[in-house]
Structure 1
Amino acid sequence: MKKVNKPAGGNPAALLKEQKKRLAEAELLLDISRRISAMDSLDAVLKMLVETATSRLNAERGSLFLNDPNTNELYSRVAMGNFMREIRILNTNGIAGHVFTTGEGVIIPDAYADSRFNRNIDEQTGFVTRNILCVPIKTAKGQIMAVAQILNKKKGRFNREDMRLLEEMMKQGAPSLQSLQFIEQMETIRRQELEFINVVSEMTSDIKLGSLLQNVMAEATRMLNAERSTLFLHDEKSDELWSEVGQGLESTQIRMPSHAGIAGAVFKSSRTINIPHAYADLRFNPSFDKKTGFFTRSILCVPVINKNGRTIGVTQVLNKHGGPFSQEDEARLRAFTAQVSIALENAKL
């Protein structure tokens, strides 16, 4: 008698059920892809992905945290529940930070029993997190750009099948998230540059040197997301660098030899210096910190060069919020410094 091979698994009903499940999943992913293709804003894609994932996984709330490489923070604009707000955390903190840094998804059955869980968000929002499913979102090149986090499964606990489905849903959205985030960043930069042009316009109409320089240094501090900025000018008679204006220094005048510290190194070399950890650099002079109680973490310093190519001072910005200064910050500060040089020339300092 010829042997009849039974279907894999030996249970036709179970196989049919599995096939229907896979077909429904394929339709879900195709629907997500179709809906994303009709969206042209980052917020719309974020909202749709989070709502779809939260509903599909029968959970109470979801969030999608995008990475901000300029501040080394994860930020969420979408939170299911009573309200919507932007929340920012360091990209190494909490469950989301753990998933972002390791690139591995996690299932947390009891959030408050896990030492990695950050309770601050619950305290800020009044929400109580019981269990968590969190997965990384990767670009086509495998770089982690975000994490998706689903909270409080309504019945039972999250399982490996939930994790697999969440990963598949996020894969559908990753290309659009990456491109729309890039477009939004470019629009932000363009808006900031337009704001800077307005400041420059005000500068050229201001004949008072003090207020003119105060404007440009205040704008430098704000646009570079830093704590403090100072313009040091060179006194040829004493061969000292002295501060004409300092954001956050309450107009304190500072004088030092033209070769001293980071400012001196930039003045003598006429080259930009970008230091992520001030106290690890031997050129850094900590005496000013000791006098004021200020703590310098990161430094970006660029030379002020006049139209004849001579270095006449330096512009120094301290302590970027969220991490070290970037190459983009260097380019922006050079643009500011070019305007400082023009302003000084116009004021005939």
Structure 2
Amino acid sequence: GKRRQKKKSGFRTKKEAEAAAAILKNELNQGTYVEESNVTFEDFSYEWLSIYEGNGNVKESTVRIRKHEIKRLLDYFAKLKLKGITRHQYQNAINDLKKRGYAQNTIEGAHRTGRMIFRKAVEMEVLKKDPTEFTHVPRHQKTIEELEGKKDLPRYLEKQKLKHFLQVAKKVGLEQDYPIFLLLAYTGLRTGELCALKWRDIDMEEQTISISKTYYNPNNNRKEYKLLPPKTATAVRVIDVDDTVINELKKHQTQQKETMMKHRHIYHDQGFVFASVDDKLPGYPHYIKKVENRMARLLKLAELNTELTPHSLRHTHTSLLAEAEVSLPQIMERLGHKDESTTKNVYLHVTKEMKKEASQKFKELMENL
């Protein structure tokens, strides 16, 4: 009930001042007036992040990604008042990320986070308008080769090359290399799923592997690992495996029991399938970087493409399933995908080649009549 006055100056003419006053009065009458805060972009971004992190459905790894994306935007807006950031400034920032050579995913991620921050500011009545609303994210201009699909296909191993790779892993691989890469190639597991795997997840009798968690350790500190639920509901699944995998896992389990006995007083006995055998931290699960380094070593020894990664074995598994005429929905279910364009690309590429082969065989059959 007390009189409240608001002053604003800096208008060039009396007419401009009167127009601004009229808008303000109208907002007050309509109940849409928002008294914008003087908070800086940096301060509000971290306030938003704490709210976002408090949502129980958000994974720790996702929060870490959001922190990186905020840092990209802080280069442009850190000490600016949130209310002072214009659409033009925001668009220029997104354009500049493109000029600086950031990948498309990085730019889109930064914009996605920017949108969430400004929308939350509007929702909390810290801001009147969202400057990200009509932003255009510049896109990479594809080459003719890319448009033809020649560069969209991920790298993977053909059947004979996979066989050679696994033979090398068996012959000159370091301890546990062969069962690790056999399992990745025969199941299409993600590396994080492999590192989180426990013996209780493996049913030797039914010949199945249950996937219900993933390994998280961004700093590669072996003691500070975390096991997190998978990102999506479809990633929780049960995979059928054959005798080749089960027999190798049984051999590996026998060897692991010897290690456990040797280090029984200090062994980190949490039931991990692939665990360290060294004298310092026996029993701690392998970390993702270690698996990547082991594969790089084997690829070099096998004289195969050294740009391949453990994830390439996931694509390899897709290609071999397609070659075995397993349907795309079945492959997606096995890999724990709801929708994945890369998997579809591999599947379509392999089945396309199979169709060509079928056509050629028919032609040869007709010529021999």
Give the structure-1-normalised TM-score: 0.29
Structure with a larger share of its residues in helix: 2
Bigger relative contact order (CA 8 A; separation at least 6): 2
TM-score if structure 2 supplies the norm length?
0.28
Higher strand share: 1
